[in-house]
Amino acid sequence: MVYTYPACFYTADDGITVDFPDLPGCVTCGMTMDEAILMAEDAACGWIHSALEDDEPIPSPSDYKNVTATEYDNGFVNLIRLDIDEFERKINPEIVSRSCLLPNWLNALAERRGINFSAALQRAIQQELGI
């Protein structure tokens, strides 16, 4: 899942604050623009990831043309791309065990050919998901 949300950036001598009007309470900051953008991506991905885990609705992104950064004089709006699948890979890298059922003939054939069941299942699921 990939989303693109408008974010409001506010620059000051001590850093850059970023908030997302469509994601209540989602605010972060960075010392440089690069850091502020990375922190914004991380904060917003975390916000959406938490909402998905809690079965809460994900707000639709506002049209960036309708968003203004007026909280302070030095604000501007920028779009931030959020790759939720990549965020999930980053925060949940551990391996889980799954059981699956196979017909005996398929299991025997795969074992004779030395197929790694975990690797084959991962490839099949990634193909099914289109990733």
Domain ranges in the chain are: 2-91, 95-131
Average pLDDT over residues 31-51: 97
Q: What is the pLDDT of residue 88?
A: 93
Question: In a 3-state reduction of DSSP, which class is residue 16?
Answer: strand
Report pLDDT for 97: 86
pLDDT number for residue 95: 85
What pLDDT, on a 0 to 100 scale, did the predictor assign at position 117?
92
Q: Is the pTM of this model over 0.85?
A: no
Contact residues for 2 (Cβ-Cβ < 8 A; gap 6+): 81, 82, 83, 84, 85
CATH class of 2-91: alpha beta
pLDDT at 64 over 80: yes
Residue 79 pLDDT more than 80? Answer: yes
